[in-house]
A and B are shown apart, each in its own frame.
Chain A
Amino acid sequence: MEEKFAISIYVCNKPGVLVRLTQTFARRGYNIDSLVVSAAHNTDFSRITVVVQGEPSTYDQILRQLNKLVDVVHAASHESTDVVDREMALFKVNVDTKKRAEIFQIVEVFRAKTVDITDQSLVIETTGDSSKIDALEKLLGPMGLSEMVRSGKLIMKRGIAET
């Protein structure tokens, strides 16, 4: 049975690093569900959060192979209780003025925001853990949801420890 894993990786901020990482996953048959890359506070480095799906039996080995890459400072997996995880999403709903009210209700309950509005559509923004975004997607689905863009999961270790 394949499982999902969230890994945070701290790497040198250089061209080609991402290719080496993704090659490592692809070679072992891991599919990448989401991937977030940005420069770290120290811009010589980047922080990457990646969610992958694959065989649990090879997971430890993949972490070791990631750590073996010259440009990887560290790669680590985390227990969900140790970390804050967040994801952001934008939803485009094709809806006319008559049905808007129902959607606004949902938006309010989810503490989401409407960030664009026309007479035929709405764009809704939300932030939260991935399950909240999944739930909102499910509710908006039958109400004219036409597009969804997700940022991918971000992870930060709780407390003073480094991610």
Chain B
Amino acid sequence: MNGAQIVVEVLKKQGVEYIFGYPGGACMPIFDALVDAPELKIILVRHEQGATHMADGYARSTGKTGVVLVTSGPGATNTVTGILTAHMDSVPLVVLTGQTITPNLGKDAFQEADVFGVTMPVVKHSYLVRDVKDLSRIIKEAFHLASSGRPGPVLVDLPKDVVSEEWTEDFRAELDLPGYQVQSKGNSENIKKVAEMLSKSKRPLLYVGAGAVISGSAKQVLKLAETLQAPVTTTLLGKGAFSEIHPLSVGMLGMHGTAYANKTVVDCDLIMAVGARWDDRITGKVSEFCTNATKIHIDIDPAEFGKIIQPDVSVNGDVSAVLEELLPQIKKLNTKDWLKTIDVWKKKYPLKFPKRGGLRAQHVLAELDRLTASKAVISTDVGQHQMWAAQFCKSIRGRQWLSSGGAGTMGYGFPAAIGAQLGNPKEVVIAVVGDGGFQMTMSELATAAIHKLPIKILIINNRYLGMVRQWQQLFFDNRESGVDMEGNPDFVKIGEAYGIKGFHLRRAGDVTKVLKKALAYNEGPCIIEAEVTKADNVFPMIPAGAPVSEMLIDEPHETRKLKKPEGST
């Protein structure tokens, strides 16, 4: 067999269902080998960025590794944004890139790009295969590295001569990774210390992130919270690790988290990070973050300890395994007063939005949440609609919320929904996107249409790059600059051109009716273009770099001038 057939054989052995890809000269041998492997279904995308986001959405929603296959040069460099997105959010991807033949490497050959070098800072690991003898072992290693420990993207660059060469492969080569160890079980002494610290807390807070989703720790987190009687806040990427409709949930924390979650952060005497990394959207000004609270950090990646916050005790291990060991050592805490205080905040500062003044994005999203009973798989783009969706669409289980958190990639939401729908044919999958982000990857409408995927594409169209406009209004004297999306197409008509069903939504009174119609339409994708008010803002808000205590619960009065944020973005 040749190298390409070896690659295909290993993919089969790994149980791969879908390959998201786009062919080109350098990867033609692999596409050719795929003709004889109908069990590996090629999803032909319209742009390589779309392929990576689809593989990412597939991976986040199923827990399996997403696979991308593209050609060399521009095909490979088009995947960089998707690889970064997966890297920042610990998503398992194997990205196979074609490459020019090895004698041409480094000679500026046609469609040559040093993609091994270009992607090095945004991959978990990468390979340039120079010998067909190494091929089967390397692809096996790529899957192992992508999916184990803290998951991430692994890139394998495949020169055309290597995948064309004949070689008798027995597929017996063992993984050869002497520098790679994954700590699964936590240190028992440190776990004992965690139990002691928890036992002394009167105002504890469990701060649960994507690590708990990846580790599948819903049961353990639930038991931990209920045993301790401790409130739980989930991060943007941790949504669903603990049901947001549970009475102990305070919802999302951070820059646009709920007011009561952020007040809980400010007043807690102990905060325990469970698979979360103290991101700058959460800590605000680090030097003033939870200064008097005990900090516990559980993470599978030891490089996260002390990176932002110095924990009082850290446990390196898989969240589920660590919690399993911790659970028998803890007992109920006296948190009655603490929970009562939080309930008062919940009543006093609920998530809300103005009921009048036209169609509101929040209204559409809250109604979507109600009509789907919080059960739909939701993917989002980045910006205001993302934060509103995070606030108003509740997650009740892990892997139903797909959003680019670390990278903040516009254009992620729609292709991610395609991957999620392929991986979860029975689930209702909804892409909540903005008019800005959708236009970055909407060429994938063809991909969704040909596979008749019943994705609901909800476009929150305010004809603005709304989050940037909000910042310009709040921090730059309302000097609008480069945010008007003048020239937006009629998105329903765009859909029609692809044979895709579309719904206009313009009036608040039509929200329920239109959403119901869209949710009932299952013959293929449909577009719901919600033409919402132009200048709504997302609140609560902690200005970037400000301490959590300086959260703005509501729109500040016009007379009050805000200073420019110290944080990056």
* Chain A residues within 8 Å of B, Cβ to Cβ: 11-12, 15-16, 19-20, 23, 27, 45, 60-61, 64-65, 67-74
Complex Cα distance A45/B178, Å?
10
Q: Which residue of B lies closest to A16 (CB)?
A: B116
> Given A12-B178, A69-B179, does the pair A61, B121 have CB atoms closer than 8 Å?
no
Using Cβ atoms and an 8 Å threshold, which residues of chain B touch A60? 306
Q: Which residue of A lies closest to B127 (CB)?
A: A16
Candidates B126, B303, B306; contact of A68 at CB < 8 Å:
B303
Structural contact, A70 and B121, CB atoms closer than 8 A: no
Using Cβ atoms and an 8 Å threshold, which residues of chain B touch A64? 302-303, 305
Q: What are 20 A-B pairs at a CB distance below 8 A?
A: A11-B179, A15-B128, A16-B126, A19-B117, A19-B120, A23-B120, A27-B121, A45-B178, A60-B306, A61-B303, A64-B303, A64-B305, A65-B303, A67-B303, A68-B301, A68-B303, A70-B177, A70-B180, A71-B125, A72-B179
Using Cβ atoms and an 8 Å threshold, which residues of chain B touch A11? 179
Smallest Cβ distance from A1 to chain B, in angstroms? 19
Structural contact, B179 and A71, CB atoms closer than 8 A: yes
Using Cβ atoms and an 8 Å threshold, which residues of chain A touch B126? 16
> Given A15-B128, A23-B120, does the pair A61, B307 have CB atoms closer than 8 Å?
yes
Smallest Cβ distance from A28 to chain B, in angstroms? 11
Using Cβ atoms and an 8 Å threshold, which residues of chain B touch A12? 178-179
Complex Cα distance A74/B179, Å?
7
Q: Which residue of A lies closest to B302 (CB)?
A: A64
Using Cβ atoms and an 8 Å threshold, which residues of chain B touch A72? 179
The contact size tier of chain B is: 10 to 19
Using Cβ atoms and an 8 Å threshold, which residues of chain B touch A61? 303, 306-307
Using Cβ atoms and an 8 Å threshold, which residues of chain B touch A23? 120-121
Complex Cα distance A71/B125, Å?
9
Using Cβ atoms and an 8 Å threshold, which residues of chain B touch A71? 125, 179
Against A, the Cβ 8 Å flags (1 = close, 0 = not) of B283-316 are: 0000000000000000001110111000000000
Complex Cα distance A12/B127, Å?
13
Q: Which residue of A lies closest to B179 (CB)?
A: A73
Complex Cα distance A68/B149, Å?
11
**CB of B124 within 8 A of chain A?**
yes
12 additional contacts (CB under 8 A) given A27-B121, A70-B177, A71-B125? A19-B120, A20-B120, A45-B178, A61-B306, A65-B303, A67-B302, A67-B303, A70-B125, A70-B180, A71-B179, A73-B178, A74-B179
Q: Which residue of B lies closest to A57 (CB)?
A: B306
Q: Which residue of A lies closest to B303 (CB)?
A: A64
Structural contact, A70 and B120, CB atoms closer than 8 A: no
Smallest Cβ distance from A146 to chain B, in angstroms? 35
Complex Cα distance A70/B178, Å?
8
Using Cβ atoms and an 8 Å threshold, which residues of chain A touch B307? 61
**CB of B417 within 8 A of chain A?**
no
Q: Which residue of B lies closest to A62 (CB)?
A: B303
Smallest Cβ distance from B362 to chain A, in angstroms? 39
Candidates B120, B180, B305; contact of A16 at CB < 8 Å:
B120
* Residue with the greatest number of chain B CB neighbours at <10 A, chosen from A68, A72, A73, A74: A68
* Residue with the greatest number of chain B CB neighbours at <10 A, chosen from A61, A69, A70, A72: A70
Smallest Cβ distance from A14 to chain B, in angstroms? 9
Smallest Cβ distance from A62 to chain B, in angstroms? 9
Complex Cα distance A125/B302, Å?
44
* Residue with the greatest number of chain A CB neighbours at <10 A, chosen from B124, B180, B303, B305: B303
Q: Which residue of B lies closest to A66 (CB)?
A: B303
Complex Cα distance A151/B124, Å?
32
Complex Cα distance A68/B123, Å?
12
Complex Cα distance A16/B120, Å?
9
Complex Cα distance A72/B124, Å?
13
Complex Cα distance A156/B307, Å?
29
**CB of B505 within 8 A of chain A?**
no
Using Cβ atoms and an 8 Å threshold, which residues of chain B touch A68? 301-303
Using Cβ atoms and an 8 Å threshold, which residues of chain A touch B121? 23, 27
CB contact list, B142-157 vs A, under 8 A: 145
Complex Cα distance A12/B178, Å?
8
Complex Cα distance A61/B304, Å?
8
Complex Cα distance A15/B126, Å?
11
Smallest Cβ distance from A24 to chain B, in angstroms? 9
Using Cβ atoms and an 8 Å threshold, which residues of chain A touch B180? 70
Using Cβ atoms and an 8 Å threshold, which residues of chain B touch A45? 178
Smallest Cβ distance from A43 to chain B, in angstroms? 13
Smallest Cβ distance from B353 to chain A, in angstroms? 41
CB contact list, B97-129 vs A, under 8 A: 116-117, 120-121, 124-126, 128
Complex Cα distance A58/B297, Å?
18
Q: Which residue of B lies closest to A27 (CB)?
A: B121
Q: Which residue of A lies closest to B117 (CB)?
A: A19
Per CB-CB distance, the 6 closest pairs between chain A and chain B, nearest first, are A64-B303, A70-B125, A73-B179, A68-B303, A72-B179, A70-B180
Structural contact, A16 and B128, CB atoms closer than 8 A: yes
Using Cβ atoms and an 8 Å threshold, which residues of chain A touch B124? 70
CB contact list, B438-455 vs A, under 8 A: none
Smallest Cβ distance from B139 to chain A, in angstroms? 15
Complex Cα distance A11/B179, Å?
7
Complex Cα distance A12/B126, Å?
14
Smallest Cβ distance from A21 to chain B, in angstroms? 11
Complex Cα distance A157/B177, Å?
25
Smallest Cβ distance from A90 to chain B, in angstroms? 32
Complex Cα distance A20/B145, Å?
16
Smallest Cβ distance from A58 to chain B, in angstroms? 9
Using Cβ atoms and an 8 Å threshold, which residues of chain A touch B145? 70
CB contact list, B311-369 vs A, under 8 A: none
Complex Cα distance A71/B120, Å?
13
Complex Cα distance A31/B121, Å?
18
Q: Which residue of A lies closest to B308 (CB)?
A: A61
Structural contact, B303 and A70, CB atoms closer than 8 A: no
Using Cβ atoms and an 8 Å threshold, which residues of chain B touch A15? 128
Against A, the Cβ 8 Å flags (1 = close, 0 = not) of B150-183 are: 0000000000000000000000000001111000
Q: Which residue of B lies closest to A74 (CB)?
A: B179
Complex Cα distance A82/B423, Å?
55
Using Cβ atoms and an 8 Å threshold, which residues of chain A touch B128? 15-16
Complex Cα distance A65/B307, Å?
10
Using Cβ atoms and an 8 Å threshold, which residues of chain A touch B177? 70
Smallest Cβ distance from A6 to chain B, in angstroms? 21
Smallest Cβ distance from A83 to chain B, in angstroms? 22
Complex Cα distance A72/B302, Å?
15
Complex Cα distance A32/B179, Å?
23
